[in-house]
Amino acid sequence: MHLKGVWRVCYRVADLKPTGGRVADLKPTGGRVADFKAAGGLAAVGVESVQKMSHSVTMLEHTGGEADFIPFARPFTGREEEEAVLRVLRSGWLTTAEEALAFEREFAERLGRAAGYPLGALAVNSATSGLHIALEACGLGPGDVALVPAYTFTATAEAAVYLGAELAFIDCAADSFLLDTESLERTASRLALGKTAYETGGPAGRPRAVVPVHFGGLCCDMDAVNKTARRYGMAVVEDAAHAFPAYTEMGAPAGSLGDVGVFSFYATKTITTGEGGMAVSGNPDLVKRMSLMRWHGIDRPVWNRYTGGKASWYYEVIEAGYKYNLPDILAAIGRVQLRRADELLEKRKHIAACYDTAFSDCPLFSIPPGAAGDARHLYPLRLKQPLAAARDDCVRKLQELGIGVSVHFIPLHKMPYYRKRYGLKDGDFPNAEDAYSRVISLPIWPGMTDEQIRRVIDSVVKLIG
Ligand SMILES: Cc1ncc(COP(=O)(O)O)c(C=O)c1O
Q: What CATH number is associated with residue 301?
A: 3.40.640.10
SS3 assignment for the chain: CCCCEEEEEEEECCCCCCCCCEEEEECCCCEEEEEEEECCHHHHHHHHHHHHHCCCEEEEEECCCCCCCECCCCCCCCHHHHHHHHHHHHHCCCCCCHHHHHHHHHHHHHHHHHHCCCCEEEEECCHHHHHHHHHHHCCCCCCEEEEEECCCCHHHHHHHHHCCCEEEEECECCCCCCECHHHHHHHHHHHHCCCCCECCECCCCEEEEECCECHHHCCCCHHHHHHHHHHHCCEEEEECCCCCCCECCCCCECCCCCCEEEEECECCCCCCCECCEEEEECCHHHHHHHHHHHECCECCCCCCCCCCCCCCCCCCECCCCCECECCHHHHHHHHHHHHCHHHHHHHHHHHHHHHHHHHCCCCCEECCCCCCCCCCCCEEEEECCCHHHHHHHHHHHHHHCCECCECCCCCHHHCHHHHHHHCCCCCCCHHHHHHHHHEEEECCCCCCCHHHHHHHHHHHHHHHC
| Cβ atoms within 10 Å of 58's Cβ, excluding its own | 13
Instruction: List, for residues 312-325, the tens digit of each pLDDT value.
Output: 889 999 999 999 99
Q: What's the CA gap between 53 and 50, in Å, rounded?
A: 5
> Would 75 be classed as within a structural domain?
no
CA angle 325, 245, 282 (to 5 degrees): 60
Among 86-100, 140-154, 302-316, which stretch is predicted with the lowest mean pLDDT?
A: 302-316
Higher pLDDT pick, 305 / 1: 305
Higher pLDDT, 426 or 28: 426
* pLDDT recorded at residue 17: 41
Distance 239 CA to ligand 1 centre (A): 8
Pairing relationship of beta strands 365-366 and 144-149 according to DSSP bridges? unpaired
Among 42-56, 110-124, 225-239, the minimum mean pLDDT is found in 42-56
Range with the poorest average pLDDT among 20-34, 190-204, 208-222, 378-392: 20-34
The sign one gets for the Cα dihedral 57, 62, 68, 70 is: negative
Whether pLDDT at 39 is above 60:
no
pLDDT at 67: 56
Question: Of 339, 373, 397, which residue sits at a domain end?
Answer: 339
Shared-domain flag, residues 431 and 392: yes
Which amino acid appears at position 385 of this protein?
A: Q
Determine whether 397 is an active site residue: no
Residue 8 pLDDT > 90 = no
Residues 6+ apart with CB under 8 A from 217: 242, 243, 246, 270, 374, 375, 376, 377, 378
- Least Cα distance to 239 among 254, 221, 226 occurs for 254
Ligand 1: distance of its center to the CA of 153 in Å? Answer: 6
Q: Is residue 78 part of a domain?
A: no
Q: Could you give the CA distance from residue 286 to residue 260 in angstroms, rounded to a whole number?
A: 8
* Residue 201 in this model has a pLDDT that exceeds 90: yes
Neighbours of 378 (CB within 10 A): 26
pLDDT of residue 332: 98
Q: Is 309 part of any domain?
A: yes
Cis peptide before 245 (omega within 30 of 0): yes
pLDDT tens track for 272-285: 999 999 999 999 99
Do 130 and 271 reside in the same domain of the chain? yes
pLDDT at 61 over 90: no
Answer yes or no: is pLDDT of 13 > 50. Answer: no
Give the range among 28-42, 162-176, 237-251 with minimum mean pLDDT.
28-42
Name the domain boundary from 41, 68, 95. 68
- CA-based Rg of the chain, rounded to a whole angstrom? 24
The finding on whether 213 has its CB within 6 A of some atom of ligand 1 is yes
Query: Is the bond leading into 386 cis (omega within 30 degrees of zero)?
Result: yes
Q: Is the CB of 155 under 6 A from ligand 1?
A: yes
Q: Are 238 and 258 in contact (CB under 8 A)?
A: yes
Is the minimum distance from the CB of 266 to ligand 1 under 6 angstroms?
yes
Question: 405 in a domain, yes or no?
Answer: yes
The CB of 264 under 6 Å from ligand 1? The reply is: yes
- Indicate if the pLDDT at residue 19 is higher than 70: no
Sheet with 365-366, strands from edge to edge, namely: 365-366, 379-383, 439-442
* Single residue among 36, 68, 100 that ends a domain in this structure: 68
Question: How far is the C-alpha of 379 from the C-alpha of 217, rounded, in Å?
Answer: 10
**Structure confidence by residue, pLDDT tens digits, 316-367:** 999 999 999 999 999 999 999 999 999 999 999 999 999 999 999 999 999 9
- Asked if residue 176 and residue 300 are part of one domain, the reply reads yes
CATH at residue 352: 3.90.1150.10
**301 alpha carbon – ligand 1 mean position (Å):** 27
Looking at the fold, whether 335 and 362 belong to one and the same domain comes out as: no
- Assess whether 347 and 439 both reside in one domain: yes
Instruction: Give mean pLDDT, residues 429-443.
Output: 97
> Is the same domain home to 227 and 91?
yes
Report residue 53's pLDDT band, with 50, 70 and 90 as the boundaries: very low
Q: Give the distance (Å) from ligand 1 centre to CA of residue 241.
A: 5
Substitution candidate for ligand 1 out of 128, 215, 409 with most atoms within 8 A of CB: 128
Q: What mean pLDDT is predicted for residues 174-191?
A: 97
Judge whether 222 lies within some domain.
Answer: yes
Q: Are residues 320 and 346 in the same domain?
A: no
Cα–Cα distance for residue pair 333/252, rounded to 1 Å: 26
With respect to residue 76, please indicate whether it lies within any of the assigned structural domains: no
77 in any annotated domain: no
Say which of 4, 52, 227, 269 is annotated catalytic: 269
pLDDT band at 47 (very low <50, low <70, confident <90, very high): very low
User: Do both 361 and 335 map to the same domain?
Assistant: no
Confidence tier at 10 by pLDDT (50, 70, 90): very low
Q: At residue 224, what is the residue type? A: A
Give me the sheet containing 120-124, strands edge to edge: 120-124, 277-281, 260-264, 235-239, 206-210, 144-149, 166-170
Structural contact between residues 405 and 391, judged by C-beta atoms closer than 8 angstroms:
no
pLDDT tens-digit series, residues 111-156:
999 999 999 999 999 999 999 999 999 999 999 999 999 999 999 9
Which residues are CB-contacts of 382 (< 8 A; sequence separation ≥ 6)? 365, 366, 368, 388, 435, 438, 439
Mark whether 214 and 258 lie in a shared domain: yes
197 occurs within a structural domain: yes
Q: How many residues does the chain have?
A: 465
* pLDDT score of 263: 99
pLDDT greater than 50 at residue 430: yes
Mean of per-residue pLDDT scores for the chain: 88
277 in contact with ligand 1, CB cutoff 6 A: yes
Mean pLDDT of 418-436: 97
Question: Range of 406's domain?
Answer: 341-464
Shared-domain flag, residues 213 and 299: yes
Q: 132 and 106, same structural domain? A: yes
Confidence band for 302, pLDDT divided at 50, 70 and 90: confident
What's the total number of domains in the chain? 3
Q: What angle do CA 19, 20, 25 make, to 5 degrees?
A: 105
Is residue 310 located within the same domain as residue 396?
no
Q: Which of 220, 216, 265 is nearest to 238 (CA)?
A: 220
